[in-house]
C-alpha cells in the first residue's frame, strides 16, 4: 500500500504513540485537580505546551489546546470577530481557505457579520495588496499559510504587515504548513495561528490555537478556567502529550525532511511530465510545500483515477478529503481560474515521513495504468479540448 494522502492525515509518529500510551497508563487525573496526581497531569500538559510553542515559535502561554484544526479555526476567527465586534462586523477571508475557516465565516455570517473574499491569482496565492480595498469596518482577515490542496505558500508576513498597518488582526490556518516548512509566529507577525495534530504525525482529536500577544479572543466554549479561561472542557491529556511529542519530533527533523521530500516531489513531478506531457501541476510556479503535488491529467477524471489507483494500492485524494463525496470541481482550483474540464481531473498526491523513492516510482507506474483506464471511462473528456 502506497499512502500519498498525508495532507488528509498522517501516521502517528512512534514517539507520539509512546507519549500517549504512557499518559493513558499513568496520567489518569484531571489536570485541573489540586492533588498531586492532578498536578502531575498538569506538568505533562505544560511540557506539551512548550513543545508546541517550540515548533511554531511562540510563547508557551500563547498556546491554547483545542480538539483539532477545525475547532482551532473556529475559536480563532469567531473569537476574534466577536471580541472586536465593537469596531465592526466585517471580515476578510481568502477564497482558498480550508472548509474549517469558511465554516467559521459562515457561522459569523449567520450572526450578522459580512464576509469579504480575497481573490487569488492563477498561481494560487493571495496578493497582500488585496487587503487595501477591504471596507473600513473590517476587523479580522484570515489567510492560510499553505493551501491544503495545492500546497502553495501564502505571503503571510506581507499580509500581516498590511493588516496591522490598517489595524486589522490576522488569523492564519497553518494546519498544512506546520511540520513541513518552518513556521515562526513572530516572523510571520500573525495574531492567531492554528495547527492540527494528525497532520504532523500526532494524533487526531487535538490541535492548538496560538493567540499571540494578548490578541483579543472570546472563548468559543465557555465553562471553567481551563486553558486560562480560553477554552472550557477537560483537557485531552493523552492527545495533547501526543501532539507535543509530534511537534518536538517534527521540529527536530524539519530541515532534513524538507529537503528529502522536495527531492521526492521533484522526482514525482518530472516522472509525471515525462509520462503525461499535457499534465498540469497547479501552482507549479509558486513557492509550495515540499510534499504536495496537485496535478491534472487531462481526460482522466479524478473520481475514476481515485478508484483505479486505490485498486492498485495507491491512496491519493481528489482535491481535499473533506470535500470528498462532492463531484463539483474544487473551489480552490476554481478560484485560481483553472477551467472546469481540467479541474475535474485534479489529483492531490501528498507525501510524508514514510514515503520513499521506490514508492514514487511505483506510484508513477500505477498512475500511467490508471490514467489509461480513466480516460476510457470518460471519452468525452479525453476527446474534448480543455475549455
Alpha-carbon torsion (223, 229, 232, 233), positive or negative: negative
* Binding flag, residue 329, other proteins (CB under 8 A): no
Could you tell me the three cell numbers for 381?
Answer: 473528456
* Binding flag, residue 225, other proteins (CB under 8 A): yes
Kindly tell me which of 160 and 227 has the beta carbon lying closer to other proteins: 227
Minimum distance of other proteins from residue 28's CB (angstroms): 4
Half-sphere exposure of 213 (CA within 13 A, CB side): 8
| Phi and psi at residue 248, to the nearest 5° | -65, -45
Quick check: is 322 catalytic?
Answer: yes
List, as one string, the DSSP characters of 228-241. Answer: GGTS-S---HHHHH
Among residues 239, 283, 298, 329, the one that binds other proteins under rule CB under 8 A: 239
* Binding flag, residue 306, other proteins (CB under 8 A): yes
Between helices 14-26 and 237-275, what is the axis angle to 10°? 160
The whole-angstrom separation of Cα 266 and Cα 194 is 28
Strands 169-173 and 2-3: unpaired
Among residues 50, 161, 253, 310, the one that binds other proteins under rule CB under 8 A: 310
Considering only 231-239, 250-258, 267-275, 335-343, which stretch makes contact with other proteins by CB under 8 A? Answer: 231-239
The side-by-side arrangement of strands in the sheet containing 292-296 is 280-281, 292-296, 346-350
Minimum distance of other proteins from residue 54's CB (angstroms): 23
- Residues whose CB falls within 8 Å of the CB of residue 94, separated by 6 or more in sequence, listed in order: 117, 118, 120, 126, 142, 143, 144, 154
* Binding flag, residue 8, other proteins (CB under 8 A): yes
Greatest alpha-carbon span in the chain:
72
The DSSP secondary-structure symbol of 106 reads H
String marking each residue 67-96 x if it binds other proteins according to CB under 8 A: xxxxx-xx----------------------
The whole-angstrom separation of Cα 50 and Cα 72 is 18
The side-by-side arrangement of strands in the sheet containing 63-66 is 63-66, 207-211, 192-196, 169-173, 138-142, 90-94, 114-118
* Binding flag, residue 321, other proteins (CB under 8 A): yes
Among residues 86, 110, 136, 380, the one that binds other proteins under rule CB under 8 A: 110
Minimum distance of other proteins from residue 223's CB (angstroms): 4
User: Could you tell me how many residues of this chain bind other proteins (CB under 8 A)?
Assistant: 70
Considering only 53-61, 103-111, 209-217, 269-277, which stretch makes contact with other proteins by CB under 8 A? Answer: 103-111
Q: How far is CA 198 from the centre of its chain?
A: 10
Cβ neighbour number for residue 223 with a 10 Å cutoff: 12
Looking only at residues 157 through 196 of this chain, which bind other proteins when binding is defined by CB under 8 A?
Answer: 196
Minimum distance of other proteins from residue 386's CB (angstroms): 25
Among residues 49, 90, 180, 198, the one that binds other proteins under rule CB under 8 A: 198
Could you tell me the three cell numbers for 121?
Answer: 491569482
* Binding flag, residue 226, other proteins (CB under 8 A): yes
Minimum distance of other proteins from residue 10's CB (angstroms): 7
Among residues 2, 20, 215, 289, the one that binds other proteins under rule CB under 8 A: 20
The whole-angstrom separation of Cα 40 and Cα 20 is 15
* Binding flag, residue 106, other proteins (CB under 8 A): yes
* Binding flag, residue 325, other proteins (CB under 8 A): yes
Among residues 102, 180, 230, 260, the one that binds other proteins under rule CB under 8 A: 102
Minimum distance of other proteins from residue 187's CB (angstroms): 28
The whole-angstrom separation of Cα 220 and Cα 222 is 6
Active site residues: 322
Query: Which residues bind to other proteins, rule: CB under 8 A?
Result: 3, 5, 8-12, 17, 20-21, 24-25, 28-30, 32-38, 66-71, 73-74, 98-104, 106-107, 110, 196, 198, 203-206, 220-226, 232-239, 306, 310, 315-317, 321-322, 324-325
Amino acid at each position: 500500500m502506497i499512502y500519498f494522502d498525508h495532507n488528509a492525515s498522517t501516521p502517528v509518529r512512534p514517539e507520539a504513540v509512546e507519549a500517549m500510551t504512557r499518559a493513558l497508563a499513568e496520567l489518569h487525573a484531571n489536570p485541573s485537580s489540586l492533588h498531586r496526581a492532578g498536578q502531575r497531569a498538569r506538568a505533562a500538559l505544560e511540557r506539551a505546551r512548550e513543545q508546541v510553542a517550540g515548533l511554531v515559535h511562540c510563547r508557551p502561554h500563547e498556546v491554547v489546546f483545542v480538539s483539532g484544526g477545525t475547532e482551532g479555526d473556529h475559536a480563532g476567527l469567531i473569537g476574534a470577530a466577536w471580541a472586536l465586534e465593537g469596531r465592526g462586523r466585517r471580515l476578510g477571508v481568502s477564497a482558498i481557505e480550508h472548509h474549517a475557516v469558511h465554516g467559521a465565516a459562515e457561522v459569523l455570517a449567520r450572526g450578522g457579520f459580512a464576509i469579504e473574499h480575497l481573490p487569488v491569482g492563477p498561481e494560487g496565492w493571495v496578493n497582500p495588496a488585496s487587503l487595501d480595498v477591504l471596507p473600513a469596518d473590517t476587523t479580522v482577515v484570515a489567510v492560510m499559510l499553505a493551501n491544503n490542496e495545492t500546497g502553495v505558500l501564502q505571503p503571510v508576513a506581507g499580509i500581516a504587515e498590511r493588516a496591522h498597518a490598517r489595524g486589522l488582526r490576522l488569523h492564519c490556518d497553518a494546519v498544512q504548513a506546520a511540520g513541513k516548512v518552518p513556521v515562526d509566529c513572530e516572523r510571520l507577525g500573525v495574531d492567531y495561528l492554528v495547527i492540527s495534530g494528525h497532520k504532523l504525525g500526532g494524533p487526531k482529536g487535538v490541535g492548538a490555537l496560538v493567540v499571540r500577544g494578548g490578541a483579543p479572543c472570546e472563548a468559543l466554549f465557555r465553562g471553567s478556567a481551563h486553558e486560562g479561561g480560553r477554552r472550557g472542557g477537560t483537557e485531552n491529556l493523552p492527545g495533547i502529550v501526543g501532539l507535543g511529542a509530534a511537534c518536538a519530533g517534527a521540529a527536530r527533523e524539519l530541515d532534513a525532511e524538507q529537503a528529502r521530500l522536495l527531492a521526492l516531489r521533484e522526482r514525482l513531478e518530472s516522472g509525471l511530465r515525462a509520462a503525461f506531457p499535457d499534465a498540469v501541476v497547479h501552482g507549479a510556479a509558486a513557492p509550495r510545500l515540499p510534499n504536495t503535488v496537485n496535478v491534472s491529467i487531462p481526460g482522466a477524471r479524478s473520481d475514476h483515477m481515485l478508484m483505479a489507483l486505490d485498486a492498485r494500492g495507491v491512496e491519493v485524494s481528489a482535491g481535499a478529503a473533506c470535500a470528498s463525496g462532492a463531484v463539483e470541481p474544487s473551489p480552490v482550483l476554481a478560484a485560481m481560474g483553472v477551467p472546469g474540464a481540467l479541474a475535474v481531473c485534479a489529483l492531490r498526491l501528498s507525501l510524508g515521513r514514510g514515503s520513499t523513492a521506490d514508492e514514487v516510482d511505483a506510484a508513477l507506474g500505477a498512475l500511467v495504468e490508471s490514467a489509461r483506464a480513466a480516460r476510457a471511462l470518460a471519452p468525452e473528456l479525453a476527446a474534448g479540448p480543455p475549455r
